[in-house]
Amino acid sequence: MTEILRPHAEVATAHELDALARHDQRERPPGWRLSPWAVVTYLLGATLPDGTVVLPKYVGPRRLVETAVATLATDRALLLLGVPGTAKTWVSEHLAAAISGDSTLLVQGTAGTTEETLRYGWNYARLLAEGPSEAALVPSPVYRAMQRGSIVRVEELTRMPSEVQDALVTVLSEKSLPVPELDTEVMAVRGFNLIATANDRDRGVNELSSALRRRFNTVVLPLPATAEEEIAIVSRRVAELGASIGLPPVATASDEIERVVTVFRELRSGATVDGATALKVPSGTLSTAEAISVVANGMSLAAHFGDGSLRAADVAAGIVGAVVRDPVHDALVWREYLETVARDRPGWSEFYEACRALG
């Protein structure tokens, strides 16, 4: 039997969703599998009366999650906004899984996304042979979500050209999708809504028109507020990743995870933890997602080429690669950090030497 590398959220957490549904006595909006209260519990985690442990999917302010879920229970679409690596995609996937039981209705936004990707396309062989017909029409994920009364996800909305983005205005305001070729329209079934994600830090971003932005309630997902919170997120996600990819057991050193998070937070903020030293800021975002990647890569190095324990040398290469994106500016930033912070910090000598050895 083929083993799926990464099951969809509704498959991977099916036992949690089933347990929540059994215990959920609160009112559910039309078309929802769970009540808004149960959706928030699914995202933030809890232990249910039958002993089922619902693991947290998001670590952050409860009010943000409640606001996002409450938005989806209205006729307003939800825009999750934040810098790269703040779990926007992760949150949108789990929201769709908990509300609709299906997170696969997805449009990935790029500079090459066309209006047909958001609305519908055509099977051109049938279109030429038979003319416009329902059989020749190829529905988009948005079209299918409207028919089913489900949540649809639009990733990286601001990467799409502005004229393509505006194809959503009628869908979100009128809850209908005209199909003029067939002289008909698709009317959204109750339960339909849309979650979009966007960030304004990357290149190639197209601003949302005022008409489209008015159709969304915006929730900004911040970076973790404290180092402890970020360390907890990285530790948990790395453990989940290791299990999902079948990584050999590795003795994960909490000191190394703390070191990665400390480096990222200090370079992001432009100052050391104690505020005593000002630092240059690199061009990258150094997000929590990148910290997870650095530690996961270090675990792989430790498992396959080390002694089975995560050490400073295992995370050094990943950190250098994450920080030094611009070979001129970022290389200068990194060298300054090593010489002014890492070199003299107690317990960091092994890390300092490992990073120096990489050039």
Q: Domain residue spans in the chain?
A: 9-220, 227-357
- Secondary structure (3-state) at 251: strand
Percent of the chain with pLDDT over 90: 75
Is 66 or 6 the better-scoring residue by pLDDT?
A: 66
pLDDT given at position 208: 86
Distance CA 184, CA 37 (A): 37
For 9-220, give the CATH class: alpha beta
Alpha helices in the chain (DSSP H): 9-12, 14-23, 36-44, 62-72, 88-100, 115-118, 124-130, 141-148, 162-165, 168-174, 210-213, 227-244, 254-269, 288-305, 312-323, 329-337, 349-357
Residue 201 has pLDDT above 80, yes or no: no
Is the predicted pLDDT of residue 1 greater than 60, yes or no?
A: no
CB 73 within 8 Å of CB 38: no
pLDDT tens track for 219-246: 999 988 899 999 999 998 888 888 877 7
Confidence of residue 207 (pLDDT cuts 50, 70, 90): confident
Over 70: is that where the pLDDT of 359 sits?
Answer: no
> What percent of the chain lies above the pLDDT cut of 70?
97
Q: What would the pLDDT profile of 108-160 be if each residue is shown by its tens digit?
A: 999 899 999 999 999 999 999 888 999 999 999 999 999 999 999 999 999 99
What is the mean pLDDT of the segment spanning 207-219? 91
Q: What is the pLDDT of residue 32?
A: 97
Query: 69, 185, 167: which is closest to 109 by C-alpha?
Result: 167
d(CA 58, CA 236): 11
| CA angle in degrees (0–180, nearest 5) for 279-284-288 | 95
Global pTM exceeds 0.85: yes
| Per-residue pLDDT reduced to its tens digit, 248-279 | 777 767 889 999 999 999 999 999 999 889 99
pLDDT at position 4 over 90: no
What average pLDDT does the chain have?
Answer: 92
- What count of Cα atoms within 13 Å lies in the side-chain half-sphere of residue 313? 12
User: Rounded distance, CA 69 to CA 86, Å?
Assistant: 17
The whole-angstrom separation of Cα 293 and Cα 60 is 20
- Tell me the per-residue pLDDT of 278-307, one tens digit each, with 9 for 90 and over: 999 998 889 899 999 999 999 999 888 988
- Residue 252 is predicted with a pLDDT of 67
Cβ(241)–Cβ(297) below 8 Å? no
* pLDDT tens by residue, 6-62: 899 999 999 999 999 999 999 999 999 999 999 999 999 999 999 999 999 998 899
Contact (CB, 8 A) for 158 and 199: yes
DSSP 281: P
- pLDDT score of 331: 93
- pLDDT of 139: 96
Q: Which of residues 6 and 99 earns the better pLDDT score?
A: 99
Q: Is 324 within 8 Å of 334 (Cβ atoms)?
A: yes
Assess contact for 304 and 250: CB atoms under 8 A.
no
170-176 average pLDDT score: 94
CA distance 72 to 177: 19
